[in-house]
Amino acid sequence: MVFEPFEDESDFGLLAEKLADPDAAVRRVAVMELADTADPEAISLIATTVKDASPEVRLQAAIAFGEFDGVETSSALCLLLQDADDRVSQAATYSLSELKDPKSADPLLELTAHESEKVRMGALLGLKQLRRPDALANGIEAMKDPVSAVRIQAVGVVGYLQTEDALPALIASCRDSDPEVRRTAVGALAFSKSSHAKDALLAALGDENWAVREIAAEVLGKFFVGDDTKLLIPLLDDPYWQVRVKATRSLGKLKVVEAIEKIGAQLGEQTSNLRKEAAAALGEIANKAALPYLEKLVDDPDPDVRKNVRWALGRIG
């Protein structure tokens, strides 16, 4: 079939006729043309296709709504999120994550306890970006969901709100049975400077999962925790270099002089990321005890390492 080019994107009457065409291909193109107008008037017309007989048309509608915002858009996407076709529901989930108007959260709040896992996840993902304070209760309840993937999204909703009222739930999720939930919860504690958050982060340094230890080491770099900073030093012996990188960075930011010897040892690692981070950390600490370690790497084969070594030597002076 040959389509005539659409010359007047403001002619919603013509597009409405195309949406009623018996040919699904015509209806799909009409949805695309409506999205191209970027005119809020197009929302109600596209919404008429959320129950179209053709999954291709519904899929195009889910994609098209990514160009719009507001409650009407969110309501239509909530219907598409529940679509039997996984392609449609996935596209709706993505479009929901693009919403910015806090009012768009209203339809989503009703779906956080939906019987479908994919619907709960999509609703929570949309709510996370909108940061509606009244989503806190929904998020905390969803953190008890039997599906770990849903709990991860729920932690995101609660963590994005950055409120001390969320701390007990976030700290509890730091002990979740799923390591990815724990990792997300530990990362979400970065906003708080409370002693309870600090204790949870320090406990996470001993987590059995390396990704949890890694994020805990990173977040602790944003805290001023006195003698507790020394508890990061053992992580420089962690079997995972990713953990050692984050621990090195945090020890540098916190200027932990007691870590100089251990950080200096990282300069002999084969992984260039470790050497680069170690040089930067020694520069942050800026103590003359680091000079012997740094002077050995002035001719390192990696240019980024050499750059950090020169910077660190300049800092120490």
What pLDDT sits at residue 250?
A: 93
Lowest mean pLDDT among 43-57, 102-116, 167-181, 215-229: 215-229
Cα–Cα dist 65/78, whole Å: 11
Contacts of 20 (CB under 8 A, 6+ apart): 27
Average pLDDT of the residues in 301-313: 95
Assign 10 a pLDDT band (cuts: 50, 70, 90). low
Assign 224 a pLDDT band (cuts: 50, 70, 90). low
What pLDDT sits at residue 2?
A: 44
Assign 225 a pLDDT band (cuts: 50, 70, 90). low
What pLDDT sits at residue 102?
A: 95
Our measurement of the distance from residue 287's CA atom to the centroid of its chain's CA atoms, rounded to an integer in Å, reads 36
Average pLDDT of the residues in 287-315: 94
User: Which residue type, as a one-letter code, is found at position 41?
Assistant: E
Average pLDDT of the residues in 98-111: 95
Burial of 305 (0-12, 13-18, 19+ CB in 10 A): buried
pLDDT digits (tens, 9 = 90+) for 141-173: 999 999 999 999 999 999 999 999 999 999 999
Residues in the chain: 317
Q: Would you state the structure tokens that stand for residue 223, as one six-digit string?
A: 């805290």
Average pLDDT of the residues in 265-283: 93
pLDDT at 223 over 80: no
pLDDT at 95 over 60: yes
* pLDDT over 70, % of the chain: 95
Average pLDDT of the residues in 278-300: 94
Assign 9 a pLDDT band (cuts: 50, 70, 90). very low
**What stretch(es) of the chain map to CATH 1.25.10.10?**
1-101+108-144, 202-317
pTM score, two decimals?
0.86
What pLDDT sits at residue 226?
A: 64
Q: Would you state the structure tokens that stand for residue 15, as one six-digit string?
A: 């597009």
What pLDDT sits at residue 151?
A: 98
pLDDT digits (tens, 9 = 90+) for 35-69: 999 999 999 999 999 999 999 999 999 999 999 99
The topology under which CATH files domain 202-317 is Leucine-rich Repeat Variant (1.25.10)
User: Phi first, then psi: what are they for 91, rounded to 5°?
Assistant: -65, -40
Mean pLDDT value across the chain: 93
Report the CATH superfamily, name and number, of domain 1-101+108-144.
Leucine-rich Repeat Variant (1.25.10.10)
Cα–Cα dist 114/132, whole Å: 19
Q: 143: closest CA among 162, 165, 171?
A: 171
Our measurement of the distance from residue 274's CA atom to the centroid of its chain's CA atoms, rounded to an integer in Å, reads 25
Q: 250: closest CA among 268, 232, 226, 228?
A: 232
Q: 89: closest CA among 114, 130, 49, 61?
A: 61
